């Protein structure tokens, strides 16, 4: 098989599948690239329903590296996608609040982030209050702020740009549902579609997001990635959005400006967080019972918040360790995984697409070494712990 001219089939044509196709061409791949996408409206994909934010405040150095690459691209979006490219990247940091008991550990994590290239301000509660007078600091012991390479953007616009560019580079998007994968002698030979036709391939990439576990199961590969519902609440509150960061409270709630209001959310407790295939109904109880009271505690002016609307999307939850699973399967070497990001897949889509493309074209990772994210750890059941998870 010629590395540069074989056929690649990508299952899933949202942000990760599209960046994989795009970077295959950028890395010099000359053969056919077919992206199988069942829903060209993308209305239920995670990419379209996400909070579209990027942070460098992670525990694992490769996650920081992946974010730095993504942030660089978002800042220079016109250089990548042309003069009309606009994803509204608002480079504003995440403000993470830590408890008094957890302050030392959080400071150590922030110092390691700085060492890995992130730009982080480490603040006392009083310093955080001086920057953000609306903040209640009674029960916090530390605050960290990403002073560069963090913020939010329009993930929908980004998806449209990368698809447009991939198509210009000769990538074919096929509107169809994949429902099986054919293999012989330990190698994938084709992807079966719902009409029973088979798209032959030399490489197959699983970029099916929350359906990633299901797609892997077609090859009898145990991949603990499944859809878990996350609800986003769009609210109006009498607090200025100007200068307001992406706030991550030590209670687990997050909130950031969106237009002249805010969006906010929190993960449900584990026993109320089932496999969610087909369920996109917002969990309204989360707002009434948890988000609002916590918000009113942290930002007292938010006591008089008004809920405008809510929506729910699916995390592609990696139940083992909440990290992405990226790279060639250890036994079926022409089947590559690019899923499982559990809430940080949009920000890491450019780096993931590039990594998968490097692997296919060059047989190795040339920029960021994402081998810790490989399938081996899933087989061995050895979690790769990311300490900064939301
Ligand atoms: C509420 C919420 C907030 C989030 N906030 C953030 C955030 O702030 N920052 C961040 O980086 N990430 C965030 N995420 C996570 C992020 O959205 C995902 O990690 C990312 O979108 C995953 O991209 P993807 O392309 O792998 O998956 P998806 O966008 O879900 O795309 C998968 C595609 O595969 C297609 N597909 C699946 N199965 C098949 C099949 N059998 N045949 C054909 N096509 C198929 C689907 O139709 C879909 O278009 C959030 C997610 C949610 C739900």
Mean pLDDT of 169-196: 98
**In 3D, which of 57, 76, 80, 274 has the Cα closest to residue 145?**
57
Q: Mean per-residue pLDDT for 316-328?
A: 96
Q: What is the largest CA-CA distance in the chain?
A: 64
pLDDT at 2 over 70: no
State the pLDDT confidence band at 264, using cuts at 50, 70 and 90.
very high
Percent pLDDT > 90 in the chain is 97
Which residue has 């399967």 as its token pair? Answer: 329
Q: Which CATH class is domain 8-53+155-224+320-380?
A: alpha beta
Q: Between 4 and 23, where is the model more confident?
A: 23
Using the atom order of ligand 1, give the atom closest to the CA of residue 231: 1
CA–CA separation, 374 and 384 (whole Å): 10
* Ligand 1 atom having least distance to the Cα of 339: 26
Q: Which atom of ligand 1 is nearest to the CA of 47?
A: 21
Average pLDDT over residues 128-139: 97
pLDDT tens-place string over residues 101-114: 999 999 999 999 99
Nearest CA to ligand 1 atom 3: 50
Residue 345 CA to ligand 1 center (angstroms) comes to 7
For residue 101, the CA-to-ligand 1 centroid distance in Å is 35
Q: According to CATH, where is 3.30.9.10 located in the chain?
A: 89-151+234-313
User: What SS3 state is found at 64?
Assistant: helix
> Tokens 């400006």 — which residue?
257
* Ordered DSSP codes for 294-342: HHHHHSGGGGG-EEEEEEEEEEEEETTTSS-EEEE-SSSTTEEEEE--T
In this structure, the residue with its CA closest to atom 50 of ligand 1 is: 50
**Which residues surround ligand 1 with Cβ inside 6 Å?**
11-17, 36-39, 42, 45-47, 49-53, 177-178, 207-211, 230, 232, 313-316, 339, 341, 343-347
The H or E element containing residue 183 is strand 178-184
CA of 188 to the centre of ligand 1 (A): 24
| pLDDT recorded at residue 57 | 97
Q: What is the mean pLDDT of residues 67-91?
A: 98
Long-range contacts of range 272-280, CB-CB < 8 Å, 24 or more positions apart? 273/228, 273/229, 274/228, 275/226, 275/227, 275/228, 276/227, 276/228, 276/229, 276/314, 277/210, 277/226, 277/227, 279/229, 279/312, 280/44, 280/229, 280/311, 280/312, 280/313, 280/314
Cα of 155 vs centre of ligand 1, distance in Å, is 11
* Alpha carbon of 315 to ligand 1 centroid (Å): 7
Cα(227) to ligand 1 centroid in Å equals 10
Task: List the residue whose alpha carbon is closest to atom 33 of ligand 1.
Answer: 12
The vertex-11 CA angle with 174 and 23, nearest 5°, equals: 90
Q: Which pLDDT value is given to residue 388?
A: 83
β-strands 325-328, 335-339 pairing: antiparallel
Average pLDDT over residues 312-333: 97
Domain with CATH 3.50.50.60 in the chain: 8-53+155-224+320-380
State yes or no: pLDDT of 208 exceeds 70: yes
Say how far apart CA 109 and CA 58 lie, in whole Å: 8
**Separation between Cα atoms, residue 375 and residue 371, nearest integer Å:** 9
Distance between CA atoms of 291 and 282, rounded to whole angstroms?
13
By CB atoms closer than 10 A (0-12, 13-18, 19+), residue 260 is exposed
Cβ-Cβ contacts under 8 Å for 376 (sequence gap 6 or more): 330
C-alpha distances in angstroms, 10 versus 16, 124, 273? 10, 47, 29
Q: Which of 208, 225, 267, 355 to mutate to test the pocket of ligand 1 (most atoms within 8 A of CB)?
A: 208
Nearest ligand 1 atom to alpha carbon 215: 41
- Rounded to the nearest 10°, the torsion over CA 52, 73, 110, 292 is -10
* Ligand 1 centroid from CA 49, angstroms: 8
Tokens 């590559």 locate to: 336
Dump pLDDT digits (tens) for 142-168. Answer: 999 999 999 999 999 999 999 999 999
If you average pLDDT over residues 174-185, what whole number do you get? 98
> Which of ligand 1's atoms lies nearest the C-alpha of 314?
53
pLDDT band at 222 (very low <50, low <70, confident <90, very high): very high
Average pLDDT over residues 237-255: 96
Say what the pLDDT of residue 5 is.
75
Ligand 1 centroid to Cα of residue 134, in Å, is: 34
Mean pLDDT of all residues in the chain?
97
Atom 51 (ligand 1) nearest CA: 50
**Atom 2 of ligand 1, nearest CA residue:** 50
Residue 386's pLDDT is what?
82
Q: Phi first, then psi: give them for residue 135, nearest 5 degrees.
A: -85, 135
Angle at 80 between CA 74 and CA 83, to 5 degrees: 95
Rounded to a whole number of angstroms, the CA Rg of the chain reads: 21
Mean pLDDT of 321-339: 97
To which residue do tokens 């509107």 refer? 175
* Average pLDDT of the segment spanning 107-129: 98
CA-closest residue to ligand 1 atom 48:
45
CATH code of the domain occupying 89-151+234-313: 3.30.9.10
User: At CA 389, angle to CA 156 and CA 328, rounded to 5?
Assistant: 70
Q: What is the pLDDT of residues 25-62, one digit of tens each?
A: 999 999 999 999 999 999 999 999 999 999 999 999 99
pLDDT of residue 1: 62
Between the alpha carbon of residue 361 and those of residues 26, 72, 356, 376, the distances in Å are 10, 23, 9, 21
């Amino acid at each position: 098989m010629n590395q540069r001219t074989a056929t690649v089939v990508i299952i899933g044509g949202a942000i990760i599948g599209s960046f994989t196709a795009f970077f295959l061409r950028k890395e010099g791949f000359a053969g056919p690239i077919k992206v199988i996408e069942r829903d060209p409206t993308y209305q239920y994909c995670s990419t379209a329903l996400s909070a579209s934010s990027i942070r460098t405040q992670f525990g694992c150095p490769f996650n920081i590296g992946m974010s730095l690459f993504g942030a660089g691209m978002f800042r220079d979006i016109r250089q990548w996608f042309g003069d009309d490219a606009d994803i509204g990247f608002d480079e504003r940091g995440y403000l993470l609040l830590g408890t008094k008991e957890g302050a030392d550990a959080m400071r150590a994590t922030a110092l390691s982030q700085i060492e890995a290239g992130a730009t982080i301000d480490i603040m006392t509660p009083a310093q955080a209050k001086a920057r953000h007078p609306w903040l209640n600091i009674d029960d916090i012991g530390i605050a960290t702020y990403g002073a560069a390479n963090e913020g939010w953007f329009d993930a929908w616009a980004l998806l449209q740009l990368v698809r447009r560019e991939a198509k210009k580079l000769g990538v074919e998007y096929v509107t169809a549902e994949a429902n099986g994968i054919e293999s012989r002698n330990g190698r994938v030979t084709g992807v079966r579609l719902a009409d029973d036709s088979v798209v032959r391939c030399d490489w197959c990439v699983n970029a099916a997001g929350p359906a990633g576990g299901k797609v892997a199961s077609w090859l009898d590969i145990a991949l603990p990635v499944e859809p878990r519902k996350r609800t986003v609440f769009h609210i109006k509150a009498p607090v200025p959005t100007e200068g307001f960061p992406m706030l991550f409270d030590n209670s687990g709630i997050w909130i950031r400006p969106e237009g002249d209001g805010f969006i906010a959310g929190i993960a449900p407790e584990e026993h109320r967080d089932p496999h969610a295939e087909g369920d996109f109904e917002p969990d309204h109880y989360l707002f009434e019972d948890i988000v609002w009271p916590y918000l009113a505690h942290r930002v007292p002016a938010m006591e008089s918040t008004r809920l405008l609307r809510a929506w729910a999307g699916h995390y592609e939850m990696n139940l083992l360790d909440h990290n992405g699973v990226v790279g060639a399967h250890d036994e079926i070497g022409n089947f590559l995984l690019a899923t499982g990001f559990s809430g940080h897949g949009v920000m890491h889509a450019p780096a993931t697409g590039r990594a998968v493309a490097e692997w296919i074209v060059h047989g190795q990772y040339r920029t960021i070494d994402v081998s810790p994210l490989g399938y081996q750890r899933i087989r061995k059941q050895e979690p790769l712990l990311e300490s900064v998870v939301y």
